[in-house]
Amino acid sequence: MQVQRQFVEVTNRQVVIELPESFINHRVELIALTMDNETTLAPKRRQPHPEIAGKGRTLGDLIDPIVDEGDWECLK
């Protein structure tokens, strides 16, 4: 797949572009997107289901494990 990207100033309803010779005898897909008034929407913030919202608790430090490393059986 080859890609050619161009930014063209539109002055009427027709736009003429010149493609490279390697595009000859191939199918191409053309997509026209407007670049003006481009709004960047912030991603929608996720919220917990109302039945569980606010019921969680933080136990101890968020970084250190709540159990001492000496109690970990997998490290023995």
Q: What is the mean pLDDT of residues 3-23?
A: 88
Q: Which comes out higher in pLDDT, residue 65 or 32?
A: 32
pLDDT of residue 1: 79
Cα distances from 67 to residues 12, 23, 25, 42, 76, in angstroms, run 69, 63, 67, 38, 15
Lowest mean pLDDT among 2-6, 22-26, 49-53: 2-6
- Distances 38 to 19, 33, 44, 59, 64 between C-alpha atoms, Å: 27, 10, 18, 44, 44
60 within 8 A of 53, measured Cβ to Cβ: no
Q: Is 29 helix (H, G, I), strand (E, B) or coil?
A: coil
